[in-house]
Amino acid sequence: MTSYVHDGLGSRDLEYDVIGETLGASWGAFYGDSKDPVIGYEWAVGTLGAPEGIMDYTEVGLDTRVSKSLSDSDIELEPGVRYYVTVRATSLSGRASNKSSNGFIVDKTAPAKGVVTVAHNILNQTANEVDYTLTWDGFKDLESEIRGYEFCLGYIKDVCSTAPTNTGLILQGTVQHFTPADLSTPFYGIVIATNKAGLKTTVSSDAIKTDFTPPIAGTVIDGVGKDLDYINDSVALVTTWSGFTDPQSGIEKCRLTIIEEGPTGPFLVLRSTVIKANGSIPHKFILIPGIKYVATVECRNPDGFKTSVSSNGVTCDKTPPITGKIFHGTDRNSDIRYQSSTNALSVHWSPGSDPQSGVKEYLVAVGTGPDRDDVRGFATVDMATDVQIVNLTMNSGSTYYATLEVVNNAGLRSSVSSSGVRVDATPPIISKVNLQSSDTVPGFIGPGDYLNGNWNTYDDESDIDFTEYCIGTTTGGCQVEDMRRMPENQTRVTCSECKVKHKHTYFMTIRVWNKAGLFNLATTEGVTVDLTPPTGGEVVLNPPYMPCLETCSLRATVSGFIDEESGIKDCEFIVKTSNGTIVTPAQTTTSQDHILAANLTLTHGESYNIVVACLNSLDVRSMEVDSSPVRIDNTPPEKGLVIISPDSNHDIRHQHTGCHFLNTTLRVYWTGFHDDESNIAGFRVAIGRAPLGADIIPYKDLKIDSEAKFELSQQYGLSQGDTIFVTVEATNRAGLITKVSSQPTRLLSDTDNNLLNQQDFLCVNL
């Protein structure tokens, strides 16, 4: 009984030989009966119908596994031809039985290469998730045919980076949700074709470099050059786009669509075919008021990544805006009728409105009448609601009008004009302004006075609007009272609240406004405040002693009475005793440095004062100042004793010397002179030939000394035997005099030997 026969030496039956260098076979043992067992095997190789066409039967004994190297033989196996191994078993009785394999084919070549192409489908542009579909064709294998295909993606040519997927004999496959690890790295679509001999052919597509970055978004506007939010129905809608670029792969194509957004929802108005990456297109469809139109431009690169940009939309508005009112001036709560400027105009207005598209801007013009712009043409002020228009040429006395034009965002306009303003370029006239001062002393005020001002003003063009005043300590200053507005038509004011200060000078400034807004300023002369009396001075009464035998006069010098502010007007004085008894009533003197009180009868032994007070120019009186006293002394000094005394011993004894040597020093001594009222002021001494005489030596002032010496010589015309008298004149402080002469003294010659020897100076009974 025959068994199986396998081609090849493997554990399994060889169907294809991919090497072609060795013939091999294995088989199971053939079984006979016990009386006729198998005693040997032979094997041969051939083709169908010719079992020994390649190799004749060859005995192998009882081996069931055999091989033959083709390199040692002349056997050549042709690729694509099926070869069979036939095993013949012979039994002991000589009977034989054959068994052939199912055959094998020699196939040493892999399948022929085909062509692989890759297409992609973007699943999620944001996450860069893409499906890649590989399609292939042209793979062939004439020997063993194609058994199946696998596909994958790989960063290196012919090397899979994704797991291979088996498609059997289907010529297409998809790698789903693939995103390269590095978006800039190219990759390949790879197909592996396997023939039935197990040989493989790997083919890669062209490098796949996907541009995962969508085009750079440009701008899409409704309009040309400027994006419009609103448009009126009289103009065509224009869509403009620009700036769409793709630096990596370029723009493949763009598409434009327009939708209208209304109460019923969006509605497609236009779907354009392919457009350029930059351009502008006017549209011919009719615009519906109140409807918003939105344009969208979508651009894609060659790999299908897209960028889409929409305009912010434009709404159709066919109704013009609503205007407010326009007024002159800067105060939003008033409309002025006059102004002073001839080159500028200030106006303000209540805001306009537009329920559909809103107000876009305001334009203002100036003219000589309503709705005219012959002075200044219309110019935009954007969304301001006030403006000052400058560099105008306007004439004083003329009226000018401002016209406001309101423009909505759809370009529709409405206008309104002001009621006009009259130009007055001249300020008010101030004909007089005074700050009242003292009636007697211009420029000063004293205690109890207020600052009183008055003025005269007029304006013939636009009339006086109002007047302001202030009080200050400098010209034009307002340090004391800030500018305060006066009630209408009032032309005088008393500043009772002003707290004036001594020695401060005050000014009043008025500011007068006309109704055109011009003002004029004027400041008064300064008024100085003098709240203090003159400063007390000094009164000196000379001499301190004087006689007053019948009538007399007192003379005093005055100094130090000063009033630096308003000055000294005059002074008053009285004469009084030391115990305060007033001797004379108050008298006025205009002299500020001396006082004379004449025809006075004054008492001996009494002291008197002159009391002085001065008034400043505002009649503020100073404190009274007493002079130094003067004492009345009507009696001369009491007489004393006068002697010619050679030494002090004679003074003590009051002993007079009756003789004196000619040409020697004469010593005079006196005592006993006194004055109880005014004391002794001084002494004078003279020498004469008779009592109280002064014909030899005239009076010599010796102050209050009690002795004196004289050198008697012949130069005074004296000679031996002459008799002389010394006279002492005592004067008290009241100027009264008492004269006393000495006893006579005879002059002797200094050569009288008897007298010299005897040293006797005593002369008696002369």
Which pLDDT does position 71 carry in this prediction?
84
- Kindly tell me if the per-residue pLDDT of 251 is higher than 80: yes
The mean pLDDT value for 236-244 works out to 92
Whether 100 and 120 share a structural domain: no
Contact 312, 223 (CB under 8 A): no
Whether 78 and 92 share a structural domain: yes
The mean pLDDT value for 228-244 works out to 91
Query: Which of 611, 605, 637 shows the shortest CA–CA distance to 623?
Result: 611
Percent of the chain with pLDDT over 90: 61
Would you give the distance in Å from CA 108 to the centre of its chain?
92
Whether 684 and 618 share a structural domain: no
Whether 98 and 139 share a structural domain: no
The mean pLDDT value for 58-85 works out to 90
Which pLDDT does position 751 carry in this prediction?
59
Beta bridge partners of residue 505, listed in sequence order? 528
Angle value at C-alpha 417, between 414 and 422, nearest 5 degrees: 165
pLDDT in tens, 435-462: 887 666 788 888 888 888 999 999 888 8
DSSP assignments along 339-393, one per residue: E--SS-EEEEE---B-TTT-EEEEEEEEESSTT--SSEEEEE-TT-SEEEE-S--
- Strand order across the 665-671 sheet: 641-644, 665-671, 707-711
The mean pLDDT value for 379-408 works out to 95
Hey, which bits of 619-736 come out as E strands? 625-626, 630-632, 641-644, 659-661, 665-671, 680-688, 697-703, 707-711, 723-732
Which pLDDT does position 370 carry in this prediction?
96
- Using only C-alpha atoms, what is the Rg of the chain? 76
Average pLDDT, the chain: 90
Whether 188 and 276 share a structural domain: no
**Residue carrying structure tokens 């100076």:** 761
The mean pLDDT value for 471-495 works out to 90
Which pLDDT does position 566 carry in this prediction?
86
The last residue of one of the domains, among 386, 401, 423, is 423
Angle value at C-alpha 467, between 465 and 473, nearest 5 degrees: 160
Q: 762 lies in a domain?
A: no
Which pLDDT does position 443 carry in this prediction?
85
Whether 509 and 588 share a structural domain: no
Q: 718 lies in a domain?
A: yes
The mean pLDDT value for 294-308 works out to 92
Whether 267 and 366 share a structural domain: no
Q: 760 lies in a domain?
A: no
Hey, which bits of 303-344 come out as E strands? 306-310, 314-316, 326-328, 338-339
- Kindly tell me if the per-residue pLDDT of 343 is higher than 90: yes
pLDDT in tens, 694-744: 999 999 999 988 899 998 887 888 888 899 999 999 999 999 999 999 999
Strand 265-275 and strand 253-262: pairing? antiparallel
One-letter amino acid for residue 730 of the chain: A
Run of H or E including 664: none
Burial class (CB in 10 A: 0-12, 13-18, 19+), 508: buried
Phi then psi for residue 753, to 5 deg, are: -65, -40
Whether 236 and 284 share a structural domain: yes
Identify the DSSP state of 715.
G
Which pLDDT does position 161 carry in this prediction?
93
Whether 90 and 146 share a structural domain: no
- Kindly tell me if the per-residue pLDDT of 598 is higher than 70: yes
Percent of the chain with pLDDT over 70: 97
Beta bridge partners of residue 429, listed in sequence order? 458
The mean pLDDT value for 258-267 works out to 85
pLDDT in tens, 103-149: 999 998 999 999 999 999 999 888 888 999 999 999 999 888 999 99
Q: Which domain does 165 fall in, by range? A: 115-204
Q: Give the residue, 481 or 2, on which the prediction is more confident.
A: 481
Q: 152 lies in a domain?
A: yes
Whether 348 and 371 share a structural domain: yes
Which pLDDT does position 763 carry in this prediction?
58
Give 501's Cβ-side CA count (13 Å radius).
Answer: 7
Binned at pLDDT 50, 70 and 90, residue 757 comes out as: very low
DSSP assignments along 615-627, one per residue: EETT-PBPPPEEP
Q: 487 lies in a domain?
A: yes
pLDDT in tens, 503-558: 899 999 999 998 898 999 999 999 999 888 999 889 999 889 999 988 999 999 99
The dihedral over CA atoms of 527, 528, 530, 534, expressed in degrees to the nearest 10, equals -120
Run of H or E including 586: none
**CA–CA separation, 590 vs 568, rounded Å?**
9
- Kindly tell me if the per-residue pLDDT of 766 is higher than 50: no
Whether 522 and 560 share a structural domain: no
- Kindly tell me if the per-residue pLDDT of 628 is higher than 50: yes
Binned at pLDDT 50, 70 and 90, residue 477 comes out as: very high
If you average pLDDT over each of 287-291, 345-349, 541-545, which comes out highest? 345-349
**CA–CA separation, 675 vs 604, rounded Å?**
13
**Residue carrying structure tokens 């040692």:** 72
The mean pLDDT value for 174-187 works out to 90
Which pLDDT does position 312 carry in this prediction?
94
- Kindly tell me if the per-residue pLDDT of 618 is higher than 50: yes
- Kindly tell me if the per-residue pLDDT of 192 is higher than 60: yes
Q: 92 lies in a domain?
A: yes
Whether 499 and 557 share a structural domain: no
Q: pTM of the predicted model, to two decimals? A: 0.46
The last residue of one of the domains, among 204, 239, 266, is 204
**CA–CA separation, 272 vs 184, rounded Å?**
33
Q: 392 lies in a domain?
A: yes
DSSP assignments along 255-308, one per residue: EEEEEEEETTEEEEEEEEEEE-SSEEEE--SPP-TT-EEEEEEEEE-TT--EEE
pLDDT in tens, 312-338: 999 999 999 999 999 999 999 999 999
**CA–CA separation, 645 vs 651, rounded Å?**
6
Q: 211 lies in a domain?
A: no
The last residue of one of the domains, among 89, 106, 123, is 106
Total structural domains within the chain: 7
Q: Give the residue, 750 or 662, on which the prediction is more confident.
A: 662
Identify the DSSP state of 676.
T
Which pLDDT does position 462 carry in this prediction?
87
Run of H or E including 610: strand 607-616
Q: What is the CATH number of the domain that holds 281?
A: 2.60.40.10
For residue 511, what are its two tokens?
């500011």
Which CA distances in Å does 145 have to 16, 141, 316?
11, 4, 72
Query: Which residues are CB-neighbours of 34 under 8 A, at least 6 positions away?
Result: none
Query: Which residues are CB-neighbours of 322 under 8 A, at least 6 positions away?
Result: 352, 353, 354, 406, 414
Query: Which of 279, 264, 357, 276 shows the shortest CA–CA distance to 313?
Result: 357
For residue 375, what are its two tokens?
């002075």
